[in-house]
Chain A
Amino acid sequence: NAGVTQTPKFQVLKTGQSMTLQCAQDMNHEYMSWYRQDPGMGLRLIHYSVGAGITDQGEVPNGYNVSRSTTEDFPLRLLSAAPSQTSVYFCASSYSTDRDRADYGYTFGSGTRLTVV
């Protein structure tokens, strides 16, 4: 049971390049999300998914695309990288929103540190 796996761990892009950040979970979680972490700003929600084929925007979706073709995978695509997208990106997943369940909560990946030059 690997939990939430993010690849790559580090990436340097040039302005204008595109790339995909990968996220996979093996816990059969329905819910998956992408966050970005910037100094002094905490984590902000980019996009989320409540199941295969269903995605929606979060707080800071501009410049990012997502899709959810399977339960396990939730890739994040940067269409045309900009220096403002330099950040640490975290993927998270959750099985249940019933807070009385023992397994209620979110599991985070270890992050992808992205630098756009």
Chain B
Amino acid sequence: AQSVTQLGSHVSVSEGALVLLRCNYSSSVPPYLFWYVQYPNQGLQLLLKYTTGATLVKGINGFEAEFKKSETSFHLTKPSAHMSDAAEYFCAVSLTGFQKLVFGTGTRLLVSP
């Protein structure tokens, strides 16, 4: 069964520092890959998604993710953190598309002044 591992339930950075949130998936074929962000007491908002042929995916709010097939990873990065980036981030994967989207357990990003 496919699975998603997000390393670190909490990540703390200073404002202006690099943000790196890790996501590894278990799959023998390139899956559908997504990053979602959830602000407190809100629903999930799509940050970015993996599409065929692209290894570096750009999303909203300055985030991007690199698809590395050899490492089965899809880590999320942002060059410079803002206070407004404080939220919970979820990596999600599916082999078949929509029907069975499997989420990681989430990483809470804390940004300090």
Does A pair with B? yes
**Chain A contact patch, size range:** 20 to 34
With both chains docked as a complex, state the minimum distance between the C-beta of B41 and any C-beta of chain A, in angstroms: 8
Residues of B within 8 A of A48 (CB): 98-100
The residues in A between 79 and 104 inclusive whose CB is less than 8 angstroms from any CB of B are 90, 92, 94, 97, 99-100, 104
Query: In the bound complex, how far is the Cα of B100 from the Cα of A56, in angstroms?
Result: 10
Query: In the bound complex, how far is the Cα of B103 from the Cα of A58, in angstroms?
Result: 13
Residues of B within 8 A of A58 (CB): 100
With both chains docked as a complex, state the minimum distance between the C-beta of A53 and any C-beta of chain B, in angstroms: 16
Number of interface residues of B (CB under 8 A): 27
B98 & A31 in contact (Cβ 8 Å cutoff): yes
Residues of A within 8 A of B50 (CB): 99
Residues of A within 8 A of B42 (CB): 110-111
Query: In the bound complex, how far is the Cα of B46 from the Cα of A86, in angstroms?
Result: 25
B46 & A105 in contact (Cβ 8 Å cutoff): yes
A44 within 8 A of B: yes
Contact of A50 among B44, B92, B99 (CB under 8 A): B99
- On whether A42 and B44 interact (CB within 8 A), knowing A31-B98, A99-B51, A105-B49, the answer reads no
A44 & B103 in contact (Cβ 8 Å cutoff): yes
Main secondary structure of the interface of B (DSSP, over half): loop
Binary A-proximity of B65-106 (CB < 8 A = 1, otherwise 0): 000000000000000000000000010100011111111111
A97 & B97 in contact (Cβ 8 Å cutoff): yes
- On whether A94 and B98 interact (CB within 8 A), knowing A99-B52, A110-B42, A111-B43, the answer reads yes
A75 within 8 A of B: no
Query: In the bound complex, how far is the Cα of B52 from the Cα of A68, in angstroms?
Result: 31
Residues of B within 8 A of A33 (CB): 98-99, 101
Query: In the bound complex, how far is the Cα of B52 from the Cα of A110, in angstroms?
Result: 29
B52 & A100 in contact (Cβ 8 Å cutoff): yes
Q: 14 A–B contact pairs at CB < 8 A?
A: A40-B9, A41-B105, A42-B104, A43-B90, A45-B102, A50-B98, A58-B100, A94-B97, A94-B98, A99-B52, A104-B51, A105-B49, A108-B36, A109-B43
Residue numbers of B with Cβ under 8 A of A are 4, 9, 32, 34, 36, 42-46, 49-52, 90, 92, 96-106
